[in-house]
Amino acid sequence: MTILHHLDDATVMRYASGDLDEAFAAVVTSHLAMCPECRRAARLAEAVGGELIEACEPASLPAGAFERMMSQIGEIGRPDAPPPKQVARTVAGDVPAPLQRYVGNSLDAIAWRHIAPGVRKHDIALGSKSTGKLYLLNIAPGRAVPEHGHGGSEMTLVLSGAYRDELGRFAAGDIADLDEHVEHQPCVDPDASCICLVATEAPTRFKGVLSRLLQPVFGI
């Protein structure tokens, strides 16, 4: 698996500080299970966060801690950077381990709900404190999702298959970590369905009149 699209640095920081809604935390931990590079960044952010918390008085912050973290983050992803440590395989079957408590360990066993031609959805129940939405989408080969913007953040992790949009091609393991300013129109590759795990912060805004009519049908 070659992962080209990773978590935003700000998301890694929020994850490390325990500041993510359950829906987004589920997507982030699922990506981390698939991505050694982001696991390394998250471990680093957690370590530096721990140092910052321990240093109650600013004067006692270990000298150079922040600069050290930034230079290490800068190393990540460079061709000459040391390879990430080998880590235990964390994907069992085709469902990342952190997602298994929500949906079980096989995508074949998911109960899908038909919501539009070529589009099926599976809503995932979250705890009462969560304000986000979490669901799986299963989109047929060659299908386009109506162009849309977001009322808030949207995070999409590809679990199988691939799609392409204005930002590039997203295949298994890739994550689209989008803020409310991004508008895009994903189109699934012609040879296989694409299954994605999606977290949203607020209802997605579709642009066209037909799309807006479809929005209640999509329920997203």
Give the residues lining the site for Zn ion (CB under 5 A).
6, 35, 37-38
Residue closer to Zn ion, measured from CB, 37 or 180: 37
Residue closer to Zn ion, measured from CB, 23 or 34: 34
- CB-based contact 34:42 (threshold 8 Å): no
Smallest distance from Zn ion to CB 165, Å = 18
Residue closer to Zn ion, measured from CB, 171 or 220: 171
Smallest distance from Zn ion to CB 37, Å = 5
Q: What are phi and psi of 132, to 5 degrees?
A: -95, 175
Smallest distance from Zn ion to CB 12, Å = 9
Residue closer to Zn ion, measured from CB, 37 or 189: 37
Cα–Cα distance between 209 and 220 in angstroms, integer? 16
Smallest distance from Zn ion to CB 158, Å = 12
Cα–Cα distance between 8 and 158 in angstroms, integer? 16
Smallest distance from Zn ion to CB 29, Å = 12
Q: State the virtual CA torsion across 3, 179, 136, 41 in degrees, nearest 10.
A: 40
- CB-based contact 171:8 (threshold 8 Å): no
CA angle at 79 for the pair 91 and 49, rounded to the nearest 5°: 65
Residue closer to Zn ion, measured from CB, 37 or 46: 37
Smallest distance from Zn ion to CB 35, Å = 3
Residue closer to Zn ion, measured from CB, 119 or 198: 198
DSSP letter at 106 equals -
- Which residue pairs, CB below 8 angstroms and at least 24 apart, start in 109-114? 110/136, 110/138, 112/138
Say how many Å lie between the first and final Cα of the chain, rounded.
29
Q: What are phi and psi of 152, to 5 degrees?
A: -155, -160
